[in-house]
Homo-oligomer: A and B are copies of this chain.
Amino acid sequence: MHQLRKPYLLFLGDVALKSDAKTAFGLRDWCRNDVLGEWSLPSASVNLGLPRLAPAEAAALGAGSLVIGVAAVGGALPPHWLPTLEEALSAGMDIVSGLHSRLAQFPSLVQAAQRGGGRLVDVRHSDTSFPAGTGRKRSGNRVLTVGTDCALGKKYTALALTQALQQRGARATFRATGQTGVMIAGAGLAIDAVVSDFVAGAAEALSPDNSPGHWDVIEGQGALFHPAYAGVTLGLLHGSQPDALVLCHDPARSTIEGYPDFPIPALRQAIDRYVEAGQLTNRAVRCVGISINSSSLSDEAWAAYAATLSQQLQLPVCDPMRGGVDALADALLA
Protein backbone atom coordinates (compact mmCIF):
# COMPACT_ATOMS: atom_id res chain seq x y z
CA MET A 1 0.00 0.00 0.00
CA HIS A 2 1.42 3.42 -0.90
CA GLN A 3 1.58 6.25 1.65
CA LEU A 4 2.70 9.48 0.00
CA ARG A 5 4.25 12.51 1.64
CA LYS A 6 2.32 15.75 1.07
CA PRO A 7 2.33 18.63 0.24
CA TYR A 8 3.33 18.29 -3.41
CA LEU A 9 5.32 20.13 -6.01
CA LEU A 10 3.86 19.22 -9.43
CA PHE A 11 6.44 18.69 -12.16
CA LEU A 12 5.38 19.07 -15.78
CA GLY A 13 8.63 18.26 -17.61
CA ASP A 14 8.54 19.77 -21.09
CA VAL A 15 4.83 19.21 -21.67
CA ALA A 16 3.31 20.71 -24.81
CA LEU A 17 -0.22 19.27 -24.70
CA LYS A 18 -2.76 19.89 -21.94
CA SER A 19 -4.02 16.32 -22.30
CA ASP A 20 -0.56 14.99 -21.36
CA ALA A 21 -0.79 16.85 -18.05
CA LYS A 22 -4.07 15.18 -17.02
CA THR A 23 -2.57 13.94 -13.76
CA ALA A 24 -1.30 17.38 -12.75
CA PHE A 25 -4.66 19.02 -13.54
CA GLY A 26 -6.43 16.29 -11.55
CA LEU A 27 -4.22 16.93 -8.54
CA ARG A 28 -4.71 20.69 -8.84
CA ASP A 29 -8.48 20.26 -8.99
CA TRP A 30 -8.91 17.54 -6.36
CA CYS A 31 -6.31 18.30 -3.71
CA ARG A 32 -5.44 21.97 -4.25
CA ASN A 33 -4.67 22.40 -0.55
CA ASP A 34 -1.98 19.73 -0.80
CA VAL A 35 -0.19 21.39 -3.73
CA LEU A 36 2.39 24.10 -3.07
CA GLY A 37 3.17 24.89 -6.67
CA GLU A 38 4.35 23.74 -10.07
CA TRP A 39 7.66 23.45 -11.89
CA SER A 40 8.60 22.65 -15.48
CA LEU A 41 11.49 22.82 -17.92
CA PRO A 42 11.93 26.01 -19.99
CA SER A 43 10.57 24.28 -23.10
CA ALA A 44 7.19 23.49 -21.48
CA SER A 45 4.21 25.35 -22.94
CA VAL A 46 1.43 24.27 -20.55
CA ASN A 47 1.02 25.55 -17.00
CA LEU A 48 -1.45 24.99 -14.18
CA GLY A 49 -1.72 28.59 -13.01
CA LEU A 50 -0.05 27.72 -9.71
CA PRO A 51 2.94 29.42 -8.05
CA ARG A 52 6.13 28.51 -9.89
CA LEU A 53 8.64 26.97 -7.48
CA ALA A 54 12.03 25.38 -8.14
CA PRO A 55 12.47 22.08 -6.23
CA ALA A 56 14.78 23.63 -3.63
CA GLU A 57 12.31 26.50 -3.04
CA ALA A 58 9.42 24.05 -2.67
CA ALA A 59 11.44 21.95 -0.22
CA ALA A 60 12.18 25.05 1.84
CA LEU A 61 8.42 25.70 1.98
CA GLY A 62 7.85 22.17 3.30
CA ALA A 63 7.08 20.16 0.15
CA GLY A 64 7.21 16.43 0.87
CA SER A 65 7.18 15.11 -2.71
CA LEU A 66 7.84 16.14 -6.26
CA VAL A 67 5.05 14.49 -8.26
CA ILE A 68 5.59 13.81 -11.96
CA GLY A 69 2.25 15.07 -13.22
CA VAL A 70 2.71 14.47 -16.90
CA ALA A 71 2.73 11.47 -19.24
CA ALA A 72 5.99 10.91 -21.12
CA VAL A 73 6.28 9.45 -24.61
CA GLY A 74 6.15 5.65 -24.31
CA GLY A 75 5.86 5.87 -20.55
CA ALA A 76 9.63 6.13 -20.10
CA LEU A 77 11.38 8.80 -18.05
CA PRO A 78 13.34 11.17 -20.38
CA PRO A 79 16.96 11.48 -19.20
CA HIS A 80 16.88 15.28 -19.41
CA TRP A 81 14.33 15.32 -16.55
CA LEU A 82 16.83 13.70 -14.19
CA PRO A 83 18.65 16.87 -12.98
CA THR A 84 15.36 18.36 -11.73
CA LEU A 85 14.44 15.15 -9.92
CA GLU A 86 17.93 14.92 -8.41
CA GLU A 87 17.59 18.50 -7.15
CA ALA A 88 14.31 17.61 -5.39
CA LEU A 89 15.82 14.46 -3.87
CA SER A 90 18.93 16.29 -2.72
CA ALA A 91 16.63 18.75 -0.95
CA GLY A 92 15.05 15.86 0.96
CA MET A 93 11.86 15.38 -1.05
CA ASP A 94 10.36 12.09 -2.30
CA ILE A 95 9.76 11.57 -6.02
CA VAL A 96 6.34 10.17 -6.97
CA SER A 97 5.96 8.74 -10.46
CA GLY A 98 3.24 6.99 -12.40
CA LEU A 99 5.45 6.30 -15.41
CA HIS A 100 6.17 2.80 -16.72
CA SER A 101 9.91 3.23 -16.03
CA ARG A 102 10.81 2.44 -12.46
CA LEU A 103 12.63 5.32 -10.78
CA ALA A 104 15.11 2.95 -9.14
CA GLN A 105 16.50 1.95 -12.52
CA PHE A 106 18.28 5.35 -12.66
CA PRO A 107 21.44 5.15 -10.50
CA SER A 108 21.67 8.95 -10.16
CA LEU A 109 18.20 9.02 -8.59
CA VAL A 110 19.05 6.20 -6.18
CA GLN A 111 22.16 8.08 -5.12
CA ALA A 112 20.34 11.40 -4.73
CA ALA A 113 17.62 9.68 -2.67
CA GLN A 114 20.28 8.24 -0.38
CA ARG A 115 21.84 11.70 0.00
CA GLY A 116 18.59 13.43 0.82
CA GLY A 117 16.82 10.64 2.71
CA GLY A 118 13.75 10.73 0.43
CA ARG A 119 12.03 7.86 -1.35
CA LEU A 120 11.47 6.83 -4.97
CA VAL A 121 7.76 5.95 -5.21
CA ASP A 122 6.38 4.25 -8.34
CA VAL A 123 2.61 4.36 -7.90
CA ARG A 124 2.05 2.34 -11.08
CA HIS A 125 3.80 -0.62 -9.51
CA SER A 126 2.92 -2.68 -6.46
CA ASP A 127 5.80 -4.16 -4.49
CA THR A 128 3.75 -5.01 -1.42
CA SER A 129 2.69 -8.61 -0.86
CA PHE A 130 -0.94 -9.16 0.02
CA PRO A 131 -2.60 -12.25 1.49
CA ALA A 132 -5.34 -14.01 -0.45
CA GLY A 133 -8.85 -12.69 0.15
CA THR A 134 -10.70 -14.08 3.17
CA GLY A 135 -14.28 -12.99 2.43
CA ARG A 136 -14.64 -12.02 6.11
CA LYS A 137 -17.29 -9.32 6.63
CA ARG A 138 -15.74 -6.06 7.78
CA SER A 139 -17.31 -3.33 9.92
CA GLY A 140 -18.22 0.11 8.55
CA ASN A 141 -19.91 0.88 5.21
CA ARG A 142 -18.53 0.74 1.70
CA VAL A 143 -19.62 2.15 -1.65
CA LEU A 144 -17.85 1.23 -4.90
CA THR A 145 -18.09 3.07 -8.21
CA VAL A 146 -18.47 0.64 -11.11
CA GLY A 147 -18.78 1.31 -14.81
CA THR A 148 -20.10 0.27 -18.17
CA ASP A 149 -16.53 0.87 -19.47
CA CYS A 150 -13.12 2.18 -18.40
CA ALA A 151 -12.25 5.87 -18.16
CA LEU A 152 -15.72 7.41 -17.85
CA GLY A 153 -15.74 8.97 -14.39
CA LYS A 154 -15.39 6.32 -11.68
CA LYS A 155 -12.60 8.22 -9.91
CA TYR A 156 -14.28 11.64 -10.20
CA THR A 157 -17.57 10.19 -8.99
CA ALA A 158 -15.91 8.61 -5.95
CA LEU A 159 -14.08 11.86 -5.12
CA ALA A 160 -17.22 13.97 -5.51
CA LEU A 161 -19.25 11.50 -3.46
CA THR A 162 -16.66 11.56 -0.66
CA GLN A 163 -16.90 15.37 -0.53
CA ALA A 164 -20.70 15.34 -0.61
CA LEU A 165 -20.84 12.83 2.25
CA GLN A 166 -18.39 14.89 4.31
CA GLN A 167 -20.44 18.06 3.62
CA ARG A 168 -23.41 16.24 5.14
CA GLY A 169 -21.39 15.55 8.29
CA ALA A 170 -20.82 11.89 7.47
CA ARG A 171 -17.40 10.35 8.02
CA ALA A 172 -16.14 9.27 4.60
CA THR A 173 -12.78 8.25 3.14
CA PHE A 174 -11.86 8.11 -0.54
CA ARG A 175 -10.02 4.84 -1.27
CA ALA A 176 -7.77 5.07 -4.33
CA THR A 177 -7.22 2.07 -6.64
CA GLY A 178 -5.44 3.78 -9.56
CA GLN A 179 -2.32 5.87 -9.77
CA THR A 180 -3.89 9.32 -10.08
CA GLY A 181 -6.29 8.46 -7.27
CA VAL A 182 -3.36 7.40 -5.09
CA MET A 183 -1.62 10.72 -5.75
CA ILE A 184 -4.77 12.67 -4.91
CA ALA A 185 -5.49 10.72 -1.73
CA GLY A 186 -1.83 10.36 -0.75
CA ALA A 187 -2.55 6.68 -0.08
CA GLY A 188 -3.89 3.56 -1.79
CA LEU A 189 -2.67 1.21 -4.47
CA ALA A 190 -2.88 0.58 -8.20
CA ILE A 191 -5.02 -2.56 -8.00
CA ASP A 192 -4.31 -3.57 -11.60
CA ALA A 193 -0.60 -3.85 -10.75
CA VAL A 194 -1.25 -6.52 -8.10
CA VAL A 195 -0.55 -10.18 -8.96
CA SER A 196 -3.92 -11.62 -9.92
CA ASP A 197 -4.04 -14.18 -7.10
CA PHE A 198 -4.07 -11.38 -4.54
CA VAL A 199 -6.41 -8.76 -6.04
CA ALA A 200 -9.32 -9.54 -3.72
CA GLY A 201 -6.94 -9.68 -0.74
CA ALA A 202 -5.45 -6.31 -1.68
CA ALA A 203 -8.95 -4.84 -2.00
CA GLU A 204 -9.76 -6.17 1.47
CA ALA A 205 -6.65 -4.48 2.86
CA LEU A 206 -7.56 -1.20 1.16
CA SER A 207 -10.80 -0.70 3.12
CA PRO A 208 -10.15 -2.36 6.49
CA ASP A 209 -12.57 -2.56 9.42
CA ASN A 210 -13.95 0.85 10.26
CA SER A 211 -16.35 2.40 12.74
CA PRO A 212 -20.13 2.03 12.29
CA GLY A 213 -21.55 4.76 10.09
CA HIS A 214 -18.22 5.44 8.35
CA TRP A 215 -18.21 5.24 4.54
CA ASP A 216 -15.29 4.06 2.48
CA VAL A 217 -15.83 5.42 -1.04
CA ILE A 218 -13.83 3.07 -3.26
CA GLU A 219 -12.62 4.05 -6.73
CA GLY A 220 -13.66 1.35 -9.21
CA GLN A 221 -11.53 0.01 -12.06
CA GLY A 222 -12.31 -1.47 -15.47
CA ALA A 223 -15.71 -3.00 -16.22
CA LEU A 224 -17.30 -6.44 -16.02
CA PHE A 225 -18.02 -6.08 -19.76
CA HIS A 226 -14.42 -5.37 -20.75
CA PRO A 227 -12.61 -8.25 -22.52
CA ALA A 228 -9.24 -7.31 -21.02
CA TYR A 229 -9.99 -6.03 -17.51
CA ALA A 230 -13.13 -7.72 -16.17
CA GLY A 231 -11.05 -9.95 -13.89
CA VAL A 232 -9.57 -6.92 -12.11
CA THR A 233 -13.06 -5.45 -11.76
CA LEU A 234 -14.46 -8.66 -10.25
CA GLY A 235 -11.58 -9.14 -7.78
CA LEU A 236 -11.90 -5.51 -6.64
CA LEU A 237 -15.68 -5.91 -6.30
CA HIS A 238 -15.38 -9.10 -4.23
CA GLY A 239 -12.64 -7.76 -1.94
CA SER A 240 -14.41 -4.42 -1.46
CA GLN A 241 -17.65 -6.21 -0.42
CA PRO A 242 -19.57 -2.97 -1.03
CA ASP A 243 -22.93 -2.25 0.57
CA ALA A 244 -23.70 0.12 -2.28
CA LEU A 245 -22.75 0.57 -5.92
CA VAL A 246 -22.87 3.65 -8.12
CA LEU A 247 -22.92 2.82 -11.82
CA CYS A 248 -20.92 5.20 -14.04
CA HIS A 249 -21.76 5.57 -17.73
CA ASP A 250 -21.07 7.72 -20.77
CA PRO A 251 -24.10 7.85 -23.12
CA ALA A 252 -21.83 8.85 -26.04
CA ARG A 253 -20.30 5.38 -26.10
CA SER A 254 -22.03 2.42 -27.70
CA THR A 255 -19.02 0.08 -27.58
CA ILE A 256 -16.13 -0.43 -25.16
CA GLU A 257 -13.45 2.17 -25.94
CA GLY A 258 -10.87 0.65 -28.26
CA TYR A 259 -12.93 -2.56 -28.62
CA PRO A 260 -15.53 -1.83 -31.33
CA ASP A 261 -16.83 -5.43 -31.29
CA PHE A 262 -17.85 -5.21 -27.63
CA PRO A 263 -21.15 -3.39 -27.02
CA ILE A 264 -21.86 -1.40 -23.87
CA PRO A 265 -24.74 -3.24 -22.15
CA ALA A 266 -28.08 -1.67 -21.27
CA LEU A 267 -27.88 0.03 -17.88
CA ARG A 268 -30.49 -2.25 -16.30
CA GLN A 269 -28.48 -5.27 -17.38
CA ALA A 270 -25.23 -3.73 -16.15
CA ILE A 271 -26.76 -3.08 -12.72
CA ASP A 272 -28.06 -6.64 -12.52
CA ARG A 273 -24.67 -8.11 -13.40
CA TYR A 274 -22.81 -5.99 -10.85
CA VAL A 275 -25.31 -6.73 -8.10
CA GLU A 276 -25.29 -10.45 -8.92
CA ALA A 277 -21.47 -10.53 -8.77
CA GLY A 278 -21.30 -8.36 -5.64
CA GLN A 279 -23.71 -10.61 -3.74
CA LEU A 280 -20.98 -13.22 -3.38
CA THR A 281 -19.32 -11.23 -0.60
CA ASN A 282 -22.21 -8.97 0.46
CA ARG A 283 -25.74 -10.34 0.11
CA ALA A 284 -27.21 -6.88 0.80
CA VAL A 285 -25.40 -5.00 -1.98
CA ARG A 286 -27.61 -2.61 -3.95
CA CYS A 287 -27.19 -0.01 -6.65
CA VAL A 288 -28.03 3.44 -5.22
CA GLY A 289 -27.69 5.59 -8.31
CA ILE A 290 -26.18 6.43 -11.67
CA SER A 291 -23.32 8.81 -12.43
CA ILE A 292 -23.28 10.06 -16.01
CA ASN A 293 -20.44 11.66 -17.94
CA SER A 294 -22.76 13.96 -19.89
CA SER A 295 -20.10 16.03 -21.66
CA SER A 296 -21.51 15.02 -25.06
CA LEU A 297 -25.00 16.39 -24.26
CA SER A 298 -26.45 19.91 -24.43
CA ASP A 299 -28.06 21.23 -21.25
CA GLU A 300 -31.49 20.41 -22.62
CA ALA A 301 -30.52 16.97 -23.79
CA TRP A 302 -28.92 16.22 -20.43
CA ALA A 303 -32.00 17.30 -18.49
CA ALA A 304 -34.22 15.11 -20.64
CA TYR A 305 -31.82 12.17 -20.55
CA ALA A 306 -31.43 12.32 -16.75
CA ALA A 307 -35.19 12.57 -16.18
CA THR A 308 -36.00 9.66 -18.48
CA LEU A 309 -33.24 7.43 -17.09
CA SER A 310 -34.13 8.22 -13.49
CA GLN A 311 -37.73 7.28 -14.14
CA GLN A 312 -36.81 4.09 -16.01
CA LEU A 313 -34.43 2.84 -13.34
CA GLN A 314 -36.12 4.43 -10.32
CA LEU A 315 -32.72 5.69 -9.20
CA PRO A 316 -31.08 9.13 -8.84
CA VAL A 317 -29.07 10.16 -11.92
CA CYS A 318 -26.22 12.68 -11.51
CA ASP A 319 -23.22 14.11 -13.30
CA PRO A 320 -20.48 15.09 -10.83
CA MET A 321 -19.29 17.80 -13.26
CA ARG A 322 -22.80 19.14 -13.88
CA GLY A 323 -24.92 19.58 -10.80
CA GLY A 324 -22.93 17.40 -8.44
CA VAL A 325 -23.75 14.17 -6.69
CA ASP A 326 -25.93 15.37 -3.80
CA ALA A 327 -28.67 12.95 -4.78
CA LEU A 328 -26.24 10.02 -4.57
CA ALA A 329 -25.02 11.10 -1.12
CA ASP A 330 -28.62 11.45 0.04
CA ALA A 331 -29.45 8.00 -1.28
CA LEU A 332 -26.48 6.50 0.56
CA LEU A 333 -27.40 8.13 3.86
CA ALA A 334 -31.14 7.48 3.53
- Chain A positions within 8 Å of B, measured between CB atoms, are 132-135, 191-197, 199-201, 225, 227-236, 238, 259, 261-262, 280-281
Contact = CB atoms under 8 A, between A and B. Distances in A.
Contacts of A259: 134-135
Contacts of A197: 192-193, 228-229, 232
A192 B132 CA distance: 11
A235 B135 CA distance: 20
A241 B132 CA distance: 26
Contact of A280 (B199, B225, B232, B281): B225
A86 to B, nearest CB: 29
A97 B194 CA distance: 22
A191 B201 contact: no
A237 to B, nearest CB: 8
A298 to B, nearest CB: 33
Contact of A192 (B134, B195, B233, B262): B195
Contacts of A261: 135
A233 B280 CA distance: 14
Question: 10 shortest A-B CB distances, which residue pairs?
Answer: A231-B235, A135-B227, A133-B228, A192-B197, A196-B196, A132-B228, A231-B231, A231-B234, A196-B232, A196-B199
B200 A135 contact: no
A201 B196 CA distance: 12
Contact of A200 (B132, B230, B280): B230
A196 B226 CA distance: 14
A193 B192 contact: no
A134 B229 CA distance: 10
A191 B197 CA distance: 9
Given A196-B196, A196-B232, 18 more contacts: A132-B228, A135-B227, A135-B228, A135-B259, A135-B261, A192-B195, A192-B197, A194-B196, A195-B195, A197-B229, A200-B227, A200-B230, A227-B280, A231-B231, A231-B234, A231-B236, A231-B238, A232-B235
A232 B132 CA distance: 12
Contacts of A192: 195-197
Contact of A195 (B194, B228, B235): B194
Nearest to A235: B231
A195 B191 CA distance: 9
A69 B219 CA distance: 42
Contacts of A134: 227-228, 259
A201 B230 contact: no
Given A196-B196, A262-B280, A227 B191 contact: no
Contacts of A199: 196, 231-232
B229 A200 contact: yes
23 contacts: A134-B259, A135-B261, A193-B195, A194-B196, A195-B196, A196-B199, A196-B235, A197-B232, A199-B232, A200-B227, A200-B228, A200-B229, A200-B230, A200-B231, A227-B238, A227-B281, A228-B238, A230-B235, A230-B238, A230-B280, A231-B231, A231-B234, A231-B236
A233 B196 CA distance: 10
Nearest to A126: B195
